[in-house]
Homo-oligomer: A and B are copies of this chain.
């Protein structure tokens, strides 16, 4: 993959570590792609194609899937420099038998045909798990998800709480909450009872985390006793880690494609979470930051706060240009037991492997440069460090 033998050796050894993917958007009832449209419908491709000139017309839901694929592939030669394109090329090669150098619009029909054939194979889901060396993967479940019909030892439930925190005043959300818990919400105590019910339901079904994404100007505080603060209390009571994904501004590009409208504001600080981290010493906060500019704050907080853990490389920071410096700082300054290396954030299982491969290559490079070559670790000890951040920490921190 590179011309550096040590990095390649480390990469191969790291790939042997079975994955527990601690954050994704997989639908456990439909975890794999059924067509190439399911792959290229991932917002990375629609938004890059749109950004590079594709109108939103071909992305409409009433357009035949193959034509949507053709439109996106038709613009791919404008963004085939990106890492996101590389993930797609990996998928085409690994799963669809693609053997060319570049995917172009001319490959539309053959790739679509291959996808139909391959994705329709018996136990395709199992095959993807095996090919991805994947053992378990965390979900992101809406609060009223029944959590039924799937194997929760493979698909680990996680209570996503954005709706509860930011839309609790909407009648429709109140109704959904009432329906899910049997409790009509009128005041703080009833809200608390309802949320308690959700935690009981989720943990009873094997949920291992509570999660939320937060805007850059969010500052949790007990003064405005909010749903968010309540969630932290329940995380303490139910011994659930709380995944905080910090820094996303929703709908900045108003006419962007679906899920391709959000950005961030680099002027955000973990100092905003000072009171939260101090108030809940027993809650493990697994922190993702959207901007690489916040990584040093994350490193420094995880360095001194026992309950702050670094978590993955999120979205706009999920390219090697940012993973490498961010990871380097974490490995140099944060206790190794407090680092959750990566998560796929995937919507379809086929993306687990190429995204983790990108991370594993970067990890191999950092281990080679910062640990093995300076003789701080042997090769095998470096692989053990990789195992810790990729797997063992996930198991211990989330208790899976």
Q: Which residues of A are in contact with B by a Cβ distance under 8 Å?
A: 1-3, 47-48, 50-53, 78-84, 86, 249, 252-256, 260-261, 263-267, 269-271, 274, 277-278, 281, 291-294, 296-297, 299-306, 316-317, 319-322, 325, 328-329, 331-338, 361, 370-371, 373-376, 385
Contacts and interface: CB of A to CB of B under 8 A. Distances in A.
A293 B294 CA distance: 9
A52 B270 CA distance: 20
A82 B332 contact: yes
A274 to B, nearest CB: 5
A296 B316 contact: yes
Contact of A320 (B47, B84, B254, B370): B370
Given A81-B331, A269-B265, A271-B249, A260 B297 contact: no
How many copies of this kind of chain does the complex include? Answer: 3
13 contacts: A1-B375, A51-B306, A51-B338, A82-B334, A86-B376, A252-B271, A256-B305, A265-B297, A266-B293, A266-B297, A291-B297, A319-B329, A321-B333
Contacts of A376: 86
A52 B335 contact: yes
A306 B271 contact: no
Given A299-B316, A374-B2, A80 B336 contact: yes
A299 B79 CA distance: 13
Contact of A297 (B263, B319, B328): B263
A274 B252 contact: yes
Most buried by B among A2, A266, A320, A325: A266
